[in-house]
């Protein structure tokens, strides 16, 4: 059993998918988000889309960093995580403007102060202000903040995002086909709309990242930061403190800031791509839960996906791998490993999309291609310096 599973989490969320299999799958079963008829206005040319997600266990990392350093600013990053994990999923179906957002914050009042709540709420609005300058308008409609100490040990930061969108402007992944190339857009570096280096970690796999990288000190001093029934063998098994530093691209960055880099949103990029290249976009995948295997869930027919020009994993992933001893197969299933957004398109359009990304400070490249299935079912083949992995 993997360390991930031993900690009570799953990259593939098999039991969740089993639980929801009888629910209505929406109008387009291969679309990245569920899309429903326009129940709000009953217009057959429009659809309703609603999505819920959050920062996950990354909020525990923020709690530890805040307790150790007193730095409240990390909570603004958690606010961005909760928004980006919703927004970037909706970008995958073509929604890039006029969105509504409602937040849900569940806290243990004995540990999470009003200052933290203020930092999260203000951080949410500040992020929306930044996006507005790139033509992405999100309206903050408040939400629910609950003191539920019997339910959460620290804090859970989540949100719901919704839109009413024209059916003619949807990306449903039905056009993904043999001959497509796959453009990957880097999750790391410093985009023009970011204020500092982004490690690229995002908000998936943070349970593993936290326990694999950080040392036993955190379990001993902050028992509220993990499930007490877990075996000591999988709790905080790493070598590092959050205040330890490493050098990346000439800068000295703390381990805490590296793990807490706010999830990069691709909204400023996708707004431009959807405005200019909508007709050339055959499919979009957000490599979130499930990492580089995420695309397998959204293929409209049996296809062979070959990813043979992947990004070199950013340093944060090597840090996690070196501490955990996880193999490459698990790493690429749990983490994005260098790109969180991929677009299926043709080779000519790919070059234009890469240029637009680079103008925004986002590295991009053709990372793979789509070939006919050879076994009657879809397969994913990763090829890089580690060899070859088949899923």
- What digits encode the pLDDT tens for the residues 65-124? 999 999 999 999 999 999 999 999 999 999 999 999 999 999 999 999 999 999 999 999
Q: What CATH number does residue 113 fall under?
A: 3.30.1330.10
Same domain, 162 and 267: yes
**Given its phi and psi angles, is residue 133 left (phi above 0), alpha (psi -120 to 50 degrees) or beta?**
alpha
Residue 371 CA to residue 180 CA, distance in Å, equals 8
Which among 233, 259, 285 is the end of a domain?
Answer: 259
pLDDT for residue 250? 86
Render pLDDT for 175-201 as a digit per residue (tens, 0 to 9): 999 999 999 999 999 999 999 999 999
Same domain, 245 and 191: no
Instruction: Give the DSSP letter of residue 214.
Output: B
Using the structure block, give the residue that is written with the tokens 């899309």. Answer: 35
Return phi, psi of residue 357, to 5°. Answer: -65, -45
Same domain, 87 and 227: no
Same domain, 139 and 18: yes
Residue 20 CA to residue 5 CA, distance in Å, equals 21
Low-confidence ranges of the chain (pLDDT < 70): 1-23
Q: Please state, in angstroms and as integers, the Cα–Cα distance from residue 309 to each residue in 9, 13, 390, following that order.
A: 29, 27, 15
Return the structure tokens found at 320: 């996690």
Same domain, 289 and 308: yes
Same domain, 222 and 168: no
Same domain, 364 and 215: no
Q: Is the pTM of this model over 0.85?
A: yes
Same domain, 221 and 307: no
pLDDT for residue 122? 97
pLDDT for residue 24? 74
Domain extent, residue 11, equals 3-197+260-390
pLDDT for residue 211? 96
Same domain, 81 and 27: yes
pLDDT for residue 253? 96
pLDDT for residue 25? 78
Q: What mean pLDDT is reported for the chain?
A: 94
Number of separate domains in the chain: 2
Task: Please tell me whether residue 2 adopts helix, strand or coil conformation.
Answer: coil
User: How long is the chain?
Assistant: 391
Same domain, 272 and 131: yes
Same domain, 350 and 251: no
pLDDT for residue 10? 54
DSSP 312-342: PPPHHHHHHHHHH---HHHHHHHS-TTEEEE
Q: What share of the chain in percent tops pLDDT 70?
A: 94
Using the structure block, give the residue that is written with the tokens 């990392």. Answer: 61
Residue 238 CA to residue 30 CA, distance in Å, equals 39
Nearest to 32, CA basis, from 181, 202, 172: 172
Which among 259, 281, 304 is the end of a domain?
Answer: 259
pLDDT for residue 4? 52
Same domain, 82 and 7: yes
């Amino acid at each position: 059993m993997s360390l991930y599973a031993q900690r009570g989490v799953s990259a593939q969320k098999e039991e969740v998918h089993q639980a929801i299999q009888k629910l209505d799958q929406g109008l387009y079963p291969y679309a990245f988000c569920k899309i429903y008829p326009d129940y709000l206005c009953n217009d057959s040319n429009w659809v309703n889309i609603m999505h819920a997600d959050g920062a996950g266990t990354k909020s525990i990392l923020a709690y530890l960093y805040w307790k150790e350093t007193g730095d409240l600013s990390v909570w603004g990053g958690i606010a961005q995580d909760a928004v980006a994990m919703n927004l970037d999923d909706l970008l995958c179906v073509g929604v890039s403007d006029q969105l509504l957002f409602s937040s849900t914050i569940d806290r243990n009042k004995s540990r999470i102060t009003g200052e933290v709540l203020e930092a999260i709420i203000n951080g949410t609005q500040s992020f929306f202000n930044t996006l507005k300058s790139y033509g992405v308008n999100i309206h903050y409609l408040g939400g629910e903040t609950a003191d539920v100490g019997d339910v959460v040990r620290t804090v859970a930061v989540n949100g719901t995002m919704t839109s009413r969108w024209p059916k003619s402007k949807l990306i449903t992944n039905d056009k993904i086909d043999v001959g497509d190339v796959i453009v990957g857009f880097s999750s790391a570096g410093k985009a023009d709309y970011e204020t500092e280096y982004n490690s690229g970690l995002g908000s998936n796999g943070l349970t593993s990242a936290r326990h694999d990288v950080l040392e036993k000190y955190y379990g001993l001093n902050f028992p509220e930061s993990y499930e007490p029934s877990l075996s000591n063998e999988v709790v905080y098994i790493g070598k590092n403190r959050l205040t330890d530093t490493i050098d990346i691209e000439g800068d000295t960055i703390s381990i805490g800031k590296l793990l807490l880099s706010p999830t990069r949103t691709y909204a400023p990029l996708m707004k431009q791509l959807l405005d200019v290249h909508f007709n050339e976009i055959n499919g979009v995948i957000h490599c979130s839960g499930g990492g580089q295997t995420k695309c397998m869930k959204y293929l409209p027919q049996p296809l062979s996906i070959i990813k043979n020009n992947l990004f070199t994993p950013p340093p944060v992933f090597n840090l996690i791998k070196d501490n955990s001893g996880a193999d490459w197969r698990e790493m690429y299933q749990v983490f994005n490993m260098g790109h969180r957004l991929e677009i299926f398109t043709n080779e000519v359009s790919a070059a234009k999309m890469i240029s637009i990304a680079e103008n925004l400070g986002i590295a991009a490249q053709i990372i793979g291609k789509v070939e006919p299935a050879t076994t009657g079912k879809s397969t994913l083949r990763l090829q890089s310096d580690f060899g070859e992995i088949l899923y």
